[in-house]
């Protein structure tokens, strides 16, 4: 699959076409109404209600384009000298992605106002709409026709991350909220229009998502002419976390890239990019077990010495902690035996509080709380 193309077209719109047929003819977008008849995905039963769940409950259907008309968007737009955020590709690429579809690829029912629509995630429907209901139509047939294989966690992570991690430094400076991609938690937060067993293992989704997030950040850094210090710290925070995972898998810790804790050159960013992509692909293809979740949790819970290391600057420690608490949260949630482990749960809450404000972040306090968390895992089995 052509990841480069996916990343260039930030909303991931065009990549389905490339994936489908090795960059030949583009495919038409038919619009959500093409999926909405009651005998297809607009019915009341649990297996046919996808259109209703999306249009009535999912924030992707109404909110993203509506946000571009808010007062906050107006402020952001003014700071960037954007006249109309609802018509500027710097905003619509994520908030109204269908705006990027060329005129000749718009079907009859096509509406930009659909926001992040069925085809934004599943791929443009022209080549599979009719055929995809046939009983003899296999998963391979569908994928070949451009129906994205979102059951594959790597493909799913690539789809979501396109809109959920990187924003241009200029847009952030203009007041846009910072984005932080975390596939597991964000999948749980999305009102489901699919059956639970297609969710994949939560911890596995978390790890694939984090590896893909690091790839996107390093890609952005490698192509940024003057990356900000803050962007670099964010990347190094996540890099630290995934290095720990890679180290315990016994592989070479290539994410470490020869520099102690801070990434600097385009060459390093490019190396981290391909390493993290490989990690994502490997992890998506792994037969996941609960034992792996436990191992990862124990390793990360044992990270307190890193927060006691005086040589690491406080802003980097704060970024490490930010990713670490999200990781612990997803790993704890994935393990049934920890549901009723009150000491571990309250230690985790404490860690979240300590990681909340970056300027106030106190690495030594965090290290102490992490030790309490780590003991609770062992003592309250």
Which residues sit at the interface with ligand HEC, rule CB under 6 A?
Answer: 10-12, 32, 35, 41, 50-51, 54, 59-60, 63-64, 67-68, 70, 72-73, 76-77, 80, 82, 85, 90-91, 93-95, 97, 116-118, 120-122, 150-151, 156, 159-160, 162-164, 166-167, 171, 176-177, 179, 186-187, 189-190, 193-195, 198
Distance CA 176, CA 25 (A): 36
Residue 36: CB minimum distance to ligand HEC, A: 7
Where do we find the tokens 């890099």? 239
Residue 122: CB minimum distance to ligand HEC, A: 6
In the bound state with ligand HEC, the residue whose beta carbon lies nearer, of 83 and 381, is: 83
In the bound state with ligand HEC, the residue whose beta carbon lies nearer, of 177 and 260, is: 177
Q: Is 15 exposed, middle or buried (0-12, 13-18, 19+ CB in 10 A)?
A: buried
Residue 79: CB minimum distance to ligand HEC, A: 9
Residue 351: CB minimum distance to ligand HEC, A: 20
Distances 152 to 22, 157, 176 between C-alpha atoms, Å: 19, 9, 31
Distance CA 293, CA 334 (A): 7
In the bound state with ligand HEC, the residue whose beta carbon lies nearer, of 140 and 311, is: 140
CB 263 within 8 A of CB 239: yes
User: What radius of gyration, in Å, describes the C-alpha atoms of the chain?
Assistant: 22
In the bound state with ligand HEC, the residue whose beta carbon lies nearer, of 190 and 254, is: 190
Distance CA 18, CA 34 (A): 22
Residue 278: CB minimum distance to ligand HEC, A: 22
CB 12 within 8 A of CB 162: yes
Distance CA 6, CA 23 (A): 12
In the bound state with ligand HEC, the residue whose beta carbon lies nearer, of 32 and 255, is: 32
In the bound state with ligand HEC, the residue whose beta carbon lies nearer, of 170 and 339, is: 170
Residue 111: CB minimum distance to ligand HEC, A: 12
For residue 105, how far is the Cα from the chain centroid?
Answer: 27
């Amino acid at each position: 699959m052509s990841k480069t193309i996916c990343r260039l077209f930030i909303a991931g719109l065009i990549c389905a076409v490339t994936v489908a047929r090795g960059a030949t003819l583009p495919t038409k977008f038919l619009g959500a109404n093409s999926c909405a008849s009651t005998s297809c995905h607009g019915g009341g039963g649990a297996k046919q209600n996808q259109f209703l769940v999306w249009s009535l409950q999912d924030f992707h259907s109404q909110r993203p384009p509506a946000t571009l008309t808010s007062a906050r968007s107006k402020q952001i737009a003014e700071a960037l000298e954007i006249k109309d955020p609802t018509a500027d590709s710097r905003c619509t690429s994520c908030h109204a992605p269908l705006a990027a579809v060329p005129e000749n690829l718009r079907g009859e029912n096509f509406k930009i106002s659909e926001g992040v629509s069925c085809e934004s995630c599943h791929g443009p429907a022209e080549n599979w709409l009719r055929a995809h209901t046939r009983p003899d139509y296999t998963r391979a047939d569908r994928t070949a026709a451009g129906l994205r294989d979102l059951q594959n966690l790597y493909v799913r992570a690539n789809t979501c991350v396109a809109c959920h991690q990187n924003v241009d430094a200029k847009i952030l400076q203009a007041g846009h909220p910072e984005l932080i991609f975390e596939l597991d938690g964000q999948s749980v937060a999305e009102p489901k229009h699919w059956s639970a067993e297609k969710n994949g293992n939560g911890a596995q989704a978390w790890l694939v998502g984090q590896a893909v997030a690091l790839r996107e950040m390093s890609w952005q850094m490698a192509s940024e002419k003057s990356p900000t210090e803050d962007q670099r710290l964010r990347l190094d925070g996540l890099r630290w976390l995934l290095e720990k995972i890679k180290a315990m898998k016994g592989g070479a810790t290539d994410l470490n890239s020869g520099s102690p804790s801070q990434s600097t050159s385009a060459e390093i960013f490019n190396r981290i990019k391909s390493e993290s992509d490989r990690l994502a692909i490997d992890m998506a293809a792994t037969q996941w077990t609960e034992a792996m979740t436990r191992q990862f949790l124990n390793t990360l819970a044992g990270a307190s010495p890193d927060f006691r290391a005086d040589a690491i600057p406080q802003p980097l420690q704060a970024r490490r902690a930010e990713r670490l608490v999200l990781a612990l949260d997803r790993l704890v949630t994935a393990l049934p035996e920890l549901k009723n482990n009150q000491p571990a749960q309250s230690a985790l809450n404490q860690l979240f509080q300590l990681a909340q404000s970056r300027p106030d972040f106190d690495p030594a306090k965090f290290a102490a709380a992490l030790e309490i968390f780590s003991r609770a895992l062992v003592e309250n089995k």
